[in-house]
Amino acid sequence: MKTTKQIYLLMEKKGRELAALAEGLDKIIVTEETLRNMFDGKETDSVNASPILEKGVSVQAGDKIKDYLIFEVMDREEDSFKIHCESYQEYCGKEKTLPVATPLWAYTADISVSFGEEISISAESFDNAFVSVYRKQKLFEKADQYMRENVEPGTQNIIGFIRVMAFINYLSEHPELKEMENKADVGKSRKKISADKQPARKSPRVISLNGIRVISSNEKLTRKLRSKTRQRLTEAWCVRGHCRHYKTGKTVYIKPYMKGSGKTIPKEYKLS
């Protein structure tokens, strides 16, 4: 079997598995336009990009591609986190170059993110259909070259995910900026439940927040997202030292400080 066909078949097989996995998870959905404009006109000294869910699906919907990122938080610290990612894409354009609505595996990776005044992203592991097939064929040099050239551009949806997390946390700190749209519950049934039957799993709630749709069964989270008072969606985080520039031309250095009220984990630094 030709290499190209092996790669495509693996993309399709793994993509269908991931699409089935995503069905039962909470989702955060955003369009490309919302993603591009969400921070317009808003000034921030730092960002809290900590995920609002421990596990879920981030969906970035474009005109031609729907990008799905299944994530699970592996570790959190003061101003960083690590997530395990499984990403796939669905083509939704009008051209006939790709099969419509067929989920295709994009990549699997462990990603470390640090945030504050600046954001740093690093991939600690990476795999996709190209790398898997090349390694199976013992084309290790070709697999390494592919990773050198494609890991960064191939994981750009991580940046979108971070922007969405940062924006939702920002809105929770500034509830006066929230723009809510009422949505019906997903899969809500009007049938009466008989007394001898166990109550069904609670239907996910749909929150439309400044153009971002959050579909979640987590009542505590959805209640906080709807709230018009200041909320903490995540634990405490560190704001790094930075310079604040005022309109008068004055510049003041702001020392590092902690924001949030949750438990923090002190970092240990070793010199070698």
Whether 153 maps to a domain, the answer reads yes
Report the distance separating Cα 180 and Cα 242, nearest Å.
33
CA quadruple 185, 49, 262, 124: dihedral sign: positive
Q: Which pTM value belongs to this model?
A: 0.77
- CA-CA distance, 182 to 197, in Å (whole number)? 31
User: In this structure, is residue 21 part of a structural domain?
Assistant: yes
Collapsing DSSP to helix, strand or coil, 11 comes out as: helix
Beta bridge partners of 256: none
Distances (CA, A) of 97 to 66, 91, 130, 139: 15, 9, 19, 28
As for how many domains the chain has, the answer is 1
Asked whether residue 19 is domain-assigned, the answer is: yes
- Count other Cβ atoms within 10 Å, centred on residue 113: 21
Tell me how far apart the alpha carbons of residues 85 and 254 are, in angstroms, rounded to a whole number: 35
Q: Please report, as a single letter, which amino acid is at residue 90.
A: E
Task: Examine residue 114 and state whether it is found in any structural domain, yes or no.
Answer: yes
Q: Give domain status of residue 195, yes or no.
A: no
Tell me, rounded to whole angstroms, the distance of Cα 206 from its chain centroid: 17
pLDDT of residue 141: 96
User: Which residue range is the domain that position 34 belongs to?
Assistant: 3-172
Closest of 156, 129, 161 to residue 143, by C-alpha: 129
Helix (H) or strand (E) run with residue 122 in it? strand 120-127
pLDDT at 98: 57
Does any domain span residue 250?
A: no
* Residue at 147 is within a domain: yes
Q: What would the two tokens of residue 17 be? A: 């598995």
Distances (CA, A) of 31 to 46, 64, 113, 169, 226: 24, 12, 23, 18, 20
CB 224 within 8 A of CB 230: no
- HSE-up of 197 (CA within 13 Å, CB side)? 7
Per the domain annotation, does 240 fall within a domain?
A: no
Q: Can you give the pLDDT of all 272 residues of the chain as single tens digits?
A: 689 999 999 999 999 999 999 999 999 999 999 999 988 877 777 778 899 999 999 999 998 899 999 999 998 887 889 999 999 999 876 665 556 678 999 999 999 999 877 888 999 899 999 999 999 999 999 999 999 999 999 999 999 999 999 999 999 988 999 998 765 555 544 444 454 554 555 688 999 999 999 999 999 899 999 988 877 666 554 555 556 666 677 777 776 655 555 544 343 333 33
Please state, in angstroms and rounded to a whole number, the distance separating the CA atoms of residues 102 and 179: 34
